[in-house]
Amino acid sequence: MPGNGAGPATGGGVRCPALVIAAPASGQGKTTVTAALARLHARQGRRVRVFKCGPDFLDPHWHQLASGAPVHQLDLWMTGAADCARRLHEAAQDADLLLIEGVMGLFDGERSVADLATHFGIPVLAVVDASAMGGTLGAIVHGLRHYRAGLPWAGVLANRVATERHASLLRAGLNDPADWLGALPRVAPGAGESGPRLLPERHLGLVAAHELPDALQRLDAAADALAATPLGQLDGAALRRWSVEFAAPGNGADDADPASPTPPLLAGRTVAVGGDAAFCFVYDANLQTLERLGARVVRFSPLQGTALPPCDAVWLPGGYPELHAEALAANTGMQQSLREHVAARRAVWAECGGMMALFESITLQDGRRLPLWGLLPGHVTMQRRLAALGPQQLEVLDGQVLRGHTFHYSTCDSPAAVRARTTRPHAPEGGAPGEALYRHGSVQASYFHAWFASNPRATAALFGAE
């Protein structure tokens, strides 16, 4: 068994090799490289922990399969620096390698991936789609490395490279030969030029790993390709060049400890949480927050179950109700059980896809109009273009604000009462209105995806706490 790359450090901190996998833009191959790297080292017996920067429900499915360990989000705004510090410190105590997949481009957003890497001193591995370039790779790498002084740096991995000659041209363009960590082939191993993507996509992002019977084989193919690169040939001892000290929570700049006791505002209550192919957008950290609030969390399938489990409140999370609209409409048992739950004035928090399923009907992209559950008045319409994307915050109670995000390809039209609207962080007054928080009886619903740990008291209010 390879030795643990982690070790004690000063001031209660712990050291562990770590990399931030970033890129100049979206679509460069960050997820594939991160998952391949995790799978490669997990196969060699190392304990790998993977994190995802920013809000994302889909990439973590692949990283969890690759690493065999839970995957959590890191975001300096949504989750907060203290929460990030606590999770990294906890993971570093038991891991041989930490991998953090970035989001968008390295410097994109107010709290960018570069900000996070610099804040924690984690070296950046740049993944660049080099399929249509040669020596220009050197200019891109020079810019990424030197655009911001003090950015921790590991090197570059060229992705979607055509031939060995192509790789040699790319490598020759680098100012510093030490930046070169290898090249990955342009197509998925075993696939032709027109073959399928190694990790397939659809309108909300990657197809979740659990939906593909050959998901692990796909990761193994990616890991095998990575094993032929200089990056993939680094052993545990070599990885220590990227060892980082992760401070204990409460030390240094991140003084607010998010692990401090949470008031048991949901003690004695049972919260039923939907979870299946139609409702799969659930952060594990949100489930943990409900449990810290004292709730008993039970999972159920709104798609296949015939009735709610005994519960005091329901959470219908986001997902793909549009892909399962006919099956949802046909599940009259679950529909009736939800109606009885609402008639008893028990709380329902319906988030994005969960809200969509509660409307009366949906128009799909092909023009078909199908019925849904009808617990919320109104209609939802799918569209080909993204309708909304980005960080959002929602005031649930007076002064009690939840942080989160929005990401959807549908619009809705509803006469239900709008209790509040989300706002963008740091947005000027008078900007475009945010997502509506609808209130209809005991149902509260919105396109807004909440990060529960950002305000446990506001979270408890969504589930019926006084």
pLDDT at site 189:
41
pLDDT at site 256:
41
Per residue in 232-272, pLDDT (tens digit) is 999 989 999 999 999 988 644 443 444 567 889 999 999 99
Q: Where are the alpha helices (DSSP H) in 58-135?
A: 59-67, 81-94, 113-120
CA distance 215 to 63: 11
CA distance 87 to 69: 13
CA distance 340 to 306: 13
The DSSP secondary-structure symbol of 428 reads P
Per residue in 341-395, pLDDT (tens digit) is 999 999 999 999 999 999 999 999 899 999 999 999 999 999 888 777 889 999 9
Q: Which CATH architecture has domain 7-246?
A: 3-Layer(aba) Sandwich (3.40)
CA distance 129 to 233: 21
CA angle 272, 204, 137 (to 5 degrees): 135
Phi/psi for 190 (5° steps) reads 85, -5
| CA distances, 445 to each of 307, 314, 439 (Å) | 20, 12, 7
Place of tokens 């799978």: 39
Q: Look at strands 243-246 and 14-22 and give their pairing.
A: antiparallel
Instruction: Tell which residue, 42, 24, 48, has the closest CA to residue 103.
Output: 24
CA distance 291 to 283: 13
Instruction: Tell which residue, 248, 254, 444, has the closest CA to residue 351.
Output: 444
| CA distances, 79 to each of 228, 245, 258, 378, 393 (Å) | 36, 21, 10, 33, 12
258, 80 contact by CB (below 8 A)? yes
Length of the chain: 466
CA distance 284 to 442: 25
CA distance 100 to 395: 30
Average pLDDT, the chain: 89
Where do the structural domains in the chain lie, given as residue ranges? 7-246, 270-462
Give the N- to C-terminal CA distance of the chain in Å, as an integer: 52
Q: Which CATH architecture has domain 270-462?
A: 3-Layer(aba) Sandwich (3.40)
What's the rounded mean pLDDT across residues 187-192? 44
283, 255 contact by CB (below 8 A)? no
pLDDT at site 28:
93
- Using DSSP, state whether 158 is helix, strand or coil: strand
% residues pLDDT > 70 (the chain):
88
- Residue among 53, 280, 352, 412 flagged as catalytic: 352
Q: For residues 391-430, b (16+ Cβ closer than 10 Å) or e, as one string?
A: bbbbbbeeeeebbbbbbbbbebebebeebbebbeeeeeee
Which helix (H) or strand (E) covers residue 327, if one does? helix 325-330
pLDDT at site 190:
40
Q: Where are the alpha helices (DSSP H) in 148-248?
A: 164-172, 215-227, 236-239
**194 CB-near residues (< 8 Å, 6+ apart):** none
Can you say whether residue 444 is alpha, beta or left, with left for phi > 0 and alpha for psi between -120 and 50 degrees?
Answer: beta
And the tokens for 360?
Answer: 């009366």
- Using DSSP, state whether 449 is helix, strand or coil: strand
CA distance 120 to 117: 6
311: annotated active-site residue = no
Q: Is the pLDDT of residue 155 over 60?
A: yes
Can you say whether residue 183 is alpha, beta or left, with left for phi > 0 and alpha for psi between -120 and 50 degrees?
Answer: beta
pLDDT at site 8:
57
Same fold, 7-246 and 270-462: yes
Among the residue ranges 224-228, 326-330, 384-388, 460-464, the one predicted with the least confidence is 384-388
CA distance 312 to 260: 26
Name the band, by pLDDT with cuts 50, 70 and 90, for residue 205.
Answer: very low
Cα pseudo-dihedral 344, 347, 353, 359, rounded to 10 = 40
**61 CB-near residues (< 8 Å, 6+ apart):** 206, 208, 209, 210
And the tokens for 59?
Answer: 């990439």
Name the band, by pLDDT with cuts 50, 70 and 90, for residue 11.
Answer: low
pLDDT at site 23:
97
Cα pseudo-dihedral 249, 251, 252, 257, rounded to 10 = 40
pLDDT at site 265:
95
CA angle 438, 334, 437 (to 5 degrees): 10
And the tokens for 313?
Answer: 């409140």
And the tokens for 16?
Answer: 């562990």
Q: Look at strands 410-413 and 400-408 and give their pairing.
A: unpaired
pLDDT at site 252:
46
4, 96 contact by CB (below 8 A)? yes
What's the rounded mean pLDDT across residues 410-420? 94
